[in-house]
Amino acid sequence: MTENQRIALALGCTLLWLLWVAYLYLRHRRAIPRAHRQQDPVEGHVLIAYASQSGTAATLARQSADHLGASRAVTLLPLSQVSSETLRVARKALFVVATYGEGEAPDNGQRFARKFLANPSRSGAGVGALDLSHLSYSVIALGDSTYERFCAFGQRMFDGMAQLGAKALEPLHKVDSALGDPSSVVRAMPQWFRPVPAAVSPGKEEALQRRVWWRLAARTLLNSGSPGEPLFELTLRAVSDWPKWRAGDIFELQPRQPRALVAEWLAQHQLDANEWIVVGKRGQTLQAWLRERWLPRGGFNREKLLSGDFSEFPRLPVREYSVASSHSEKVLKLIVRQQSDGQGNLGLGSGWLTEFCEVGELFAGRLRENSRCHTPDHSRPLLLIGAGSGLAGLRAQIAERSAQAASPGSAGPVWMVFGERCAKTDRPLMEEVDTWMTQGTLSRCDRVFSRSESGEPGYVQDFLARHSQDLYGFVSRGADIYVCGNREGMGAGVDRTLRQVLGDAEVDSLLDHGHYRRDLY
């Protein structure tokens, strides 16, 4: 090989290496949530800040920023990235905040709450209190009225800003997610904040609310013979446009009443099931329309119904489920535990999906981005913790990592700790997990059983406590932590164990920087 050939080869190798680095950088940039890439705040801007656990508040804030950004300067930030300087240079602010659990701040609102709301009179850096007398603000509080402390963090946010001297432009607006009415969130926008009509492109409002029609392609029981409630894997296919999603996103299901129940109600009230009605420019039979509605148990105004007034038949509330598949798999999977009340009545959403929906049937639903639970960097180690139907979020994370691995060994190690009831009957997706172990996508998998006949029974938090050295060592390598499942039992227990092993300061730091992600319900 001549000297010129060696130089050409060296230059070629260098160019390939530079292209590879550029590819990795661009891929990483695409993985960073959009709100985290906002430019630094400028004087006189409108600040839109959100605290969101499941993505609803973040989605509303992002849509609001898109609308308002057409007519004025906007800075969109998660509440965790709002600093004293951000508040000082803003003149107007809209805070869209959810309440997590029993009155807590969402994970990406906890840092703000500790710094500015714990003791507002001493908030801010340097000497003296933070003076926000120049700032006018509104707060939209999202919450669930089934919890005792409904919208408690929103109220705390509203009061805390006032204590720092900011001026409220209007009273606190509370939105009840338990009603399942997406339009109530849109109506919550403050009057001063709504964009002028020219700022909104035709049809954009409808696109933001658009639902997709899905077909149930398959339903598989995952725990036959289990002493617990049945656990199902549902496979869905979009009928027309194929939407995009990422592991950590949420599927919003529009449940339906069972066919037999609606037919019985119609017969009882002597109504024609095939009568054609038009609601919202959409024509359908009365029976089809009623399947998405609450059916009055007592009397109702028959004349109002027949004249086209459907106000006595509110839509069934949506139900939310963590996606269980990656976009590259070309199917949307859910993992759902069948729920029932004390009288044996199945849950509204779980009953529809696991019992009443026929394979091949169409129903409406949509995907909601939940960037808080996205994994931005698959080269980092990942600790997955879950139990029961929380397997959905874990499975999606593993499938996405497997699909995005550019080459063997390019993705970081994954350790999964998963809890179930009985070792004999509760081993869902065992073959799939074994395949991931063989491929190297999954480095370690520990199944924990609460009703183990041999060995130590317990829960995932107990297992982590017993293996605290392994836990500490894995997280010390720069691991992300992702937890999916029940909030009150498993989620709270895991958080306590992490704090005992890692310390409060480390856990708070992981939360603030998005390395400890919780998809809990």
Quote the CA–CA distance of 253 and 349 in Å, as a whole number: 7
CA distance 425 to 430: 11
Mean per-residue pLDDT for 227-256? Answer: 92
Buried b (16+ CB within 10 A) or exposed e, 77-110: bbbbbbeeebbebbebbbbbbbbbbebbbbbbbb
Q: What is the pLDDT of residue 125?
A: 43
Tell me how far apart the alpha carbons of residues 360 and 100 are, in angstroms, rounded to a whole number.
Answer: 36
* Confidence category of residue 211, pLDDT binned at 50, 70, 90: confident
Strands 414-420 and 444-449: parallel
Mean pLDDT of the chain: 84
Reported as a single tens digit per residue, the pLDDT across 246-290 is 999 999 999 999 999 999 999 999 999 998 888 877 788 999 999
377-388 pLDDT, tens per residue?
999 999 999 999
Q: Which residues is 284 bridged to in the sheet?
A: 277
Taking the CA atoms of 86, 69, 64 and 209 in sequence, report the sign of the dihedral they define: negative
Nearest to 479 by CA among 510, 441, 443: 510
Q: What pLDDT score does 191 carry? A: 61
Read off the pTM: 0.80
β-strand partners of 340: 346
Residue 20 pLDDT exceeds 60: no
Provide CATH code, domain 34-207: 3.40.50.360
> Element (H or E) spanning 50, and its range?
strand 46-51
Helix and strand numbers (H, E) in the chain are 17, 19
Q: With a cut of 50, say whether residue 200 has pLDDT above it.
A: no
CATH topology for the 212-367 domain: Elongation Factor Tu (Ef-tu); domain 3 (2.40.30)
Structure confidence by residue, pLDDT tens digits, 81-127: 999 999 999 999 999 999 987 788 999 999 999 999 976 554 444 33
The mean per-residue pLDDT over the stretch 390-418 comes to 87
> What percent of the chain lies above the pLDDT cut of 70?
81
Please check whether residue 211 is in contact with residue 364, taking contact to mean a CB–CB distance below 8 angstroms: yes
Q: What is the pLDDT of residue 5?
A: 56
> Is the pLDDT assigned to residue 343 strictly greater than 90?
no
Instruction: Return the domain boundaries, the chain.
Output: 1-29, 34-207, 212-367, 371-520
Please compute the mean of the pLDDT values over residues 492-518 and round it to a whole number: 95
Q: Is the pLDDT assigned to residue 156 strictly greater than 80?
A: yes
Residue 266: name the closest of 302, 232, 231, 223 by CA.
Answer: 302
pLDDT band at 199; cut points 50, 70, 90: very low
Q: Would the CATH topology of 34-207 be identical to that of 371-520? A: yes
In this prediction, residue 207 carries a pLDDT of: 33
pLDDT band at 506 (very low <50, low <70, confident <90, very high): very high
- Helices 468-476 and 492-502: crossing angle in degrees, nearest 10, is 80
Task: Give me the pLDDT at residue 267, please.
Answer: 93
CB atoms within 10 A of CB 211: 14
371-520 folds as: Rossmann fold (3.40.50)
Q: Alpha-carbon torsion 95, 99, 103, 105, what sign?
A: negative
310: exposed, middle or buried (Cβ count in 10 Å: 0-12, 13-18, 19+): middle
- What is the arithmetic mean of pLDDT over 136-145? 90
Strand partners, 68: none
Q: Quick one: the chain helix, strand, coil %, rounded to 5? A: 40, 20, 40
Mean pLDDT computed over 355-359: 95
**441 compared with 1, residue with greater pLDDT:** 441
Q: Is pLDDT of 399 > 80? A: yes
* pLDDT over 50 at 429, yes or no: yes
- Which range of 56-60, 204-208, 396-400 scores highest in mean pLDDT? It is 396-400
How many Å apart are CA 143 and CA 305, to the nearest integer? 32
